[in-house]
Amino acid sequence: MPHYRYLVVGGGMTAASALSGIREADSAGTAGVICAEPHPPYDRPPLSKQLWKGTPVETIWRKGGDLGADLYLGRSARGLDLKEKRVTDDRGTAYTFERLLLATGGTPRRLAFGGDEIIYFRTIDDYRRLRSLVDSGRRFAVIGGGFIGSEIAAALALNGKQVVMLFPGAGVGSRAFPPGLSRFLTEYYRQRGVEVLAGEVATGLAPRSGGAVVETKSGRRLDVDGVVAGIGIEPNVGLAHAAGLQVENGIVVDEMLRTADPDVFAAGDVAAFYNPALGARLRVEHEDNANVMGRQAGRNMAGVDAPYHHLPFFYSDLFDLAYEAVGDLDPRLLVVEDWKDPYREGVVYYLRGGRVRGVLLWNVWDQVDAARALIAEPGPFSPGDLTGRLPG
Ligand SMILES: Cc1cc2nc3c(=O)[nH]c(=O)nc-3n(C[C@H](O)[C@H](O)[C@H](O)COP(=O)(O)OP(=O)(O)OC[C@H]3O[C@@H](n4cnc5c(N)ncnc54)[C@H](O)[C@@H]3O)c2cc1C
């Protein structure tokens, strides 16, 4: 039975960062990683961005071979016994540990129809599958208008494909951006050849040879060569839940990233942590959180014991537009828009109760730390206080 000082379940970006964190504090302790995917850790963001702009696939792999961990790839952890400090995988192999990290991330939500005809875009294998369809196909449907849907639609259009994008919201990114910006973005997509069906819902899918027909609520039938969906993820909490750990929209951890069991940690997309600046428990599905929280979890597993107070930032590329953002981008909050050049360059502030809860830096760079500091300030702020507050 393999035994490790440090055992990690999950082999994504959080796991890779955790291994680095462990090695910063402990160069000798044995480490093992159990990962359901048959690949060593890699960066996911390029799958919907740079790889469609000519960057080679080889660039996505994370360092890991030199971190002294045994990788158990293509294996899924199925059981966690906290008392015996033992994890069992889907082949029946049992692993014992002194310290465990749950870095199980999330699984894409699926539609009630379509089965495996639909690519729920998350992994390198999803990328490869879509790539091979793109080699032969002409027209693609993208279901979802959030982060993944908008990036994949842009990537396919940039590769000369006809793209029809459909989602129930009012416009591209409408769950994060104020209405004017979302309208601009929707028009921007249309100008670049994407057929945007806002307020439209996919209701069914009929496979055909070499493609499929997507049926919609309003009665459209979209005949396409491939279908991609990005409709959010569910955190992979099953293992933690079955072991009796606290789960509330994610595995609940304290500021040291420990669960209620002092030898079991959780981090990344799956972890629900308290952030002092926002005064709330968060679960963040973004790269900066995976990397910084993963590293901190690794360091803490190795005895550093430093709190995780980091407020993660996130970013996206949409054709030649790009942004960075911090905090809660909820357009239902009081929104203050400070444009230097409308919808091309500016800062959007999201306020609640006189405090800044989120900052969108739209084609504005090097202001992430200033945005974090603003969110940590007690205020109270009125809209007038914010105009010109961060250089746009
Ligand atoms: C296409 C794409 C583009 C993105 N672009 C951006 C971006 O531009 N900006 C940004 O900030 N963020 C972006 N993200 C989000 C970012 O990639 C995630 O936040 C990050 O990958 C989370 O890492 P994680 O390791 O916590 O979880 P995951 O990436 O979900 O990795 C978890 C791993 O654990 C494995 N696993 C799960 N359960 C088990 C089990 N029981 N046993 C063994 N293994 C298990 C899974 O198979 C998976 O390999 C993007 C994500 C995707 C998919």
**DSSP string for residues in 291-329:** HHHHHHHHHHHTT---------EEEEEETTEEEEEEE--
Whole-number Å distance, alpha carbon 122 to ligand 1 midpoint, is: 7
Quote the pLDDT of residue 238.
Answer: 98
The single-letter code of the amino acid at 82 is L
Task: Confirm or reject: Cβ of 338 under 6 Å from ligand 1.
Answer: no
Q: Dihedral through CA 213, CA 216, CA 222, CA 226, nearest 10?
A: -60
Residue tagged 């309003």 (tokens): 218
Task: Confirm or reject: Cβ of 287 under 6 Å from ligand 1.
Answer: yes
Quote the pLDDT of residue 391.
Answer: 79
Residue 265 has which token pair?
Answer: 């940690």
Asked whether the predicted pLDDT for residue 65 surpasses 70, the reply is no
- Digit-coded pLDDT (tens) for 321-356: 999 999 999 999 999 999 999 999 999 999 999 999
**DSSP string for residues in 122-188:** -SHHHHHHHHHHHHH--EEEEE--SHHHHHHHHHHHHTT-EEEEEESSSSTTTTTS-HHHHHHHHHH
Contact 83, 97 (CB under 8 A): no
Whole-number Å distance, alpha carbon 120 to ligand 1 midpoint, is: 13
- Among the atoms of ligand 1, which is closest to the Cα of residue 289? 19
Quote the pLDDT of residue 392.
Answer: 63
> What share of the chain has pLDDT > 90, as a percent?
97
Residue 178's contacts (CB-CB under 8 Å, 6 or more residues apart) are: 331, 335, 337, 348
Residue 206's beta-bridge partner residues? 213
Whole-number Å distance, alpha carbon 62 to ligand 1 midpoint, is: 13
Given pLDDT bands bounded at 50, 70 and 90, which one contains residue 287? very high
**DSSP string for residues in 236-300:** --HHHHHTT--BSSSEE--TTSB-SSTTEEE-GGGEEEEETTTTEEE---SHHHHHHHHHHHHHH
What the chain holds in terms of domains, given with CATH numbers, is 3-106+233-301 (3.50.50.60), 110-229 (3.50.50.60), 320-386 (3.30.390.30)
Residue 196's beta-bridge partner residues? 165
- Digit-coded pLDDT (tens) for 174-217: 999 999 999 999 999 999 999 999 999 999 999 999 999 999 99
Residue 378 has which token pair?
Answer: 């007690």
Instruction: Give dist(CA 357, CA 391) in Å, integer.
Output: 18
Q: Judging by DSSP bridges, how do beta strands 86-89 and 77-81 pair with one another? A: antiparallel
Contact 286, 327 (CB under 8 A): no
Whole-number Å distance, alpha carbon 337 to ligand 1 midpoint, is: 32
Task: Confirm or reject: Cβ of 40 under 6 Å from ligand 1.
Answer: no
Instruction: Give dist(CA 337, CA 321) in Å, integer.
Output: 17
- Digit-coded pLDDT (tens) for 93-149: 999 999 999 999 999 999 999 999 999 999 999 999 999 999 999 999 999 999 999
Average pLDDT over residues 252-270: 98
- Among the atoms of ligand 1, which is closest to the Cα of residue 15? 25
Residue 137's contacts (CB-CB under 8 Å, 6 or more residues apart) are: 161, 210, 211, 224, 225, 226
What is the pTM assigned to this prediction? 0.97
Residue from 13, 131, 270 to probe ligand 1 pocket by mutation (most atoms less than 8 Å from CB) = 13
Mean confidence (pLDDT) of the chain? 96
Burial class (CB in 10 A: 0-12, 13-18, 19+), 113: middle
Instruction: Give dist(CA 270, CA 281) in Å, integer.
Output: 13
- Among residues 388, 385, 392, the alpha carbon closest in space to that of 360 is found at 392
Quote the pLDDT of residue 270.
Answer: 98
Whole-number Å distance, alpha carbon 87 to ligand 1 midpoint, is: 21
Quote the pLDDT of residue 64.
Answer: 57
Task: Confirm or reject: Cβ of 291 under 6 Å from ligand 1.
Answer: no
Quote the pLDDT of residue 130.
Answer: 98
Task: Confirm or reject: Cβ of 100 under 6 Å from ligand 1.
Answer: no
Residue 80's beta-bridge partner residues? 87
Residue 48's contacts (CB-CB under 8 Å, 6 or more residues apart) are: 121, 148, 151, 152, 155
Whole-number Å distance, alpha carbon 269 to ligand 1 midpoint, is: 7
Asked whether the predicted pLDDT for residue 87 surpasses 90, the reply is yes
Given pLDDT bands bounded at 50, 70 and 90, which one contains residue 317? confident
Quote the pLDDT of residue 63.
Answer: 72
| Atom 28 of ligand 1, nearest CA residue | 105
Contact 121, 152 (CB under 8 A): yes
Whole-number Å distance, alpha carbon 223 to ligand 1 midpoint, is: 31
Quote the pLDDT of residue 131.
Answer: 97
DSSP code, position 352 = E
Residue 354's contacts (CB-CB under 8 Å, 6 or more residues apart) are: 379, 380, 381, 382
Instruction: Give dist(CA 322, CA 149) in Å, integer.
Output: 15
